[in-house]
Amino acid sequence: MKRADVAEQYKWDLSDLFETDANWEAEFISVKADAEQFRVYKGRLLESAEVLHEAIQAKEKLTRKMTNLVTYARLRHDEDTRDPIYQGMAARVESLMAEIGEMMSFFNPEILGAPYSEVEAFLAYPPLSIYRKAFEDLFRNKPHTLSEEIESILAQTEEMGSVPSNVYGMLLNADMTFEDAIDSEGKVHKLTNGSYISLMMSKDRVLREDAFNKYYKTYETHINTIATLMQSEVKKNIFYSRMRKHTSAREAALFQNNVPTSVPDQLIQAVNDNLETFYKYMKLRKRVLGVTDLHLYDVYTPIVSNVEFPVTFEEAKGMVTEAIAPLGKSYQNTIKSAFSSRWIDVFETEGKRSGAYSWGTYDSKPYVLLNHKENVDSMFTLAHELGHSMHSYLTRGTQPYVYGNYSIFVAEVASTTNEALLNDYLMKTLTDENKKKYILNHYLEQFRGTIFRQTMFAEFERDIHAHVENGGALTADYLCNHYLDLNRKYFGPDVVVDDAIKYEWARIPHMYYNFYVYQYATGFSAAIALADKMLTEGQPAVDRYLEFLSSGSSDYPINILRKAGADMETDAPVKGALNVFKKVVDELDQML
Tens-digit pLDDT profile for the chain (592 aa)?
899 999 999 999 999 999 999 999 999 999 988 888 899 999 999 999 999 999 999 999 999 999 999 999 999 999 999 999 999 999 999 999 988 988 898 999 999 999 999 999 999 999 999 999 999 999 998 999 888 889 889 988 988 899 999 999 999 888 899 999 999 999 999 999 889 998 999 999 999 999 999 999 999 999 999 999 999 999 999 999 999 999 999 999 999 889 999 999 999 999 999 999 999 999 999 999 999 999 999 999 989 877 889 999 999 999 999 999 999 999 999 999 999 999 999 999 999 998 899 999 999 999 999 999 999 989 999 999 999 999 999 999 999 999 999 988 899 899 999 999 999 999 999 999 999 999 999 899 999 999 999 999 999 999 999 999 999 999 999 999 999 999 999 999 999 999 999 999 999 999 999 999 999 999 999 999 999 999 999 999 999 999 999 999 999 999 999 999 999 999 899 999 999 999 999 999 999 8
**Closest CA relative to residue 384, chosen from 470, 324, 448, 439:** 324
- Our measurement of the distance from residue 586's CA atom to the centroid of its chain's CA atoms, rounded to an integer in Å, reads 31
CB neighbours of residue 536 within 10 Å: 8
Distances (CA, A) of 383 to 211, 321, 405, 415, 551: 27, 9, 20, 7, 21
**Residue 568, burial from CB neighbour count under 10 angstroms (0-12, 13-18, 19+):** buried
Verify whether residue 433 is a known catalytic residue.
no
pLDDT of 334 reads 97
Distances (CA, A) of 99 to 25, 239, 590: 17, 20, 61
Per DSSP, helices labelled H in 222-324 are 223-243, 249-255, 262-273, 275-289, 313-323
- Our measurement of the distance from residue 542's CA atom to the centroid of its chain's CA atoms, rounded to an integer in Å, reads 24
The residue ranges of every structural domain in the chain are: 3-161
pLDDT of 159 reads 85
**Closest CA relative to residue 253, chosen from 232, 228, 233:** 233
Q: In angstroms, rounded to a whole number, what is the distance separating the alpha carbons of residues 13 and 27?
A: 19
Q: In angstroms, rounded to a whole number, what is the distance separating the alpha carbons of residues 325 and 333?
A: 10
Name the CA dihedral angle for 476, 478, 483, 485, rounded to a multiple of 10 degrees: 140
Report whether 543 contacts 554 (CB < 8 A): no
CB neighbours of residue 30 within 10 Å: 12
pLDDT of 473 reads 95
pLDDT of 426 reads 96
CATH architecture of 3-161: Up-down Bundle (1.20)
**Closest CA relative to residue 72, chosen from 22, 8, 37, 38:** 22
| Element holding 357 (H helix, E strand) | strand 357-360
Helix, strand or coil for residue 205? helix
pLDDT of 125 reads 96
- Our measurement of the distance from residue 111's CA atom to the centroid of its chain's CA atoms, rounded to an integer in Å, reads 32
- Our measurement of the distance from residue 286's CA atom to the centroid of its chain's CA atoms, rounded to an integer in Å, reads 31
pLDDT of 408 reads 84
Per annotation, catalytic residue among 79, 110, 385, 412: 385
Please name the amino acid found at residue 418: N
pLDDT of 379 reads 96
Report whether 100 contacts 159 (CB < 8 A): no
- Cβ contacts of residue 449 below 8 Å, gap of 6+? none
